[in-house]
Structure 1
């Protein structure tokens, strides 16, 4: 029969193995959640937003081209209702503080542009004023595009760190399980050796 001391050692080893597997599982789940969030965020809040920025840039650029190629005498500036919808979709994404500030500036400049375009129909605003606001909008879009690159890079690096941590934890877990297995075998064989010595006597 096993002695009380052997039972305590065996119980300690089994408890250590259980705690090791539990702790490793929780850490792995946390790291996988970080990776999953990073992948989702890169797509939903960065790649999709980059598409919004690209589309907005094209639409405002069309206005710039129209202004460059026309005198605007008794001619309405082309309107693109989808701009309002894209800005609303943009605002619903997960925005950083810096991104939120740039988007607010963009919306304010777009509001000013709409006012100037309305006043132009009444001959109360000049082509120069409209071009100036379009230039400000172009800068806003460039700033937002830079944020997407920066945030996308950070999310990717964070995901890589989490995957690296998972790999390291897996190696450590294997090492500890091997050590625990060896200790368990030592206890078992030590008991068998003692039993054999008692039989020989």
Structure 2
């Protein structure tokens, strides 16, 4: 009778062990998924946020240089060279924008970037420096103001894009934190499963000794 009870207990133990193995196996799969998520978050944070922020900084710096060339046109002696300088800065900006476009863009980010690109491509092109300044007429204040308004609009786009990097970075950080917290919970389950498993092992050892003594 006692042996039957022990056999019945062993069957139950086998079921519990199977359940524990499934939990541990599932936990390992879940950990692998979490690890991949964390890896993707870190890559995205670097490639789509940190690198992009460096693009924005570099673009802003070049845009300010264009603004200086436009606002101080009366001090320039070689107009042709100045137009070429502005054109060179614009080309460098557009190359950075092209790299920017290769990253993972949000819908809002894409809208601001497209608007910025249009300003650089269409509104800030200076074919002839005399549009800004000539010896006879001096500074064309209206045209300078027009270009400055476009530059200010472009800078606002960059400011919005920079804020998006901060917001998206915070989202990635929060997601990573959730992944870590989930991993902690599963680790606690795994620890509990191992403790139960240890208890079962001791029970099996004890029951085996009891059966041996009866025999």
Q: Output the CA distance in 1 between the equivalents of 2:8 and 2:156.
A: 75
1:139 aligns with 2:147: no
Aligned ranges 1:1-201 → 2 under 5 Å: 4-71=7-74, 75=79, 76-77=82-83, 78-79=86-87, 80=89, 81-115=91-125, 117-118=126-127, 120-121=128-129, 123=131, 126-196=143-213, 198-199=214-215
Mapped contact 1:105–1:140 kept (Cα < 8 A): yes
Q: C-alpha displacement at 1:68, in angstroms?
A: 2.0
Q: Mark the runs of 5 or more structure 1 residues left unpaired by the alignment.
A: none
Q: Output the CA distance in 2 between the equivalents of 1:84 and 1:21.
A: 52
Q: Output the CA distance in 1 between the equivalents of 2:204 and 2:112.
A: 66
Q: C-alpha displacement at 1:4, in angstroms?
A: 4.5
SS at match of 1:93: coil
Q: Which runs of 4+ in 1 moved over 4 A?
A: 1-4
Q: Mark the runs of 5 or more structure 2 residues left unpaired by the alignment.
A: 133-141
Q: Output the CA distance in 2 between the equivalents of 1:15 and 1:53.
A: 55
TM-score under structure 1 length normalisation:
0.86
Q: Output the CA distance in 2 between the equivalents of 1:102 and 1:163.
A: 33
Q: Output the CA distance in 2 between the equivalents of 1:175 and 1:156.
A: 29
Q: Output the CA distance in 1 between the equivalents of 2:30 and 2:200.
A: 25
Q: C-alpha displacement at 1:134, in angstroms?
A: 0.6
TM-score under structure 2 length normalisation:
0.81
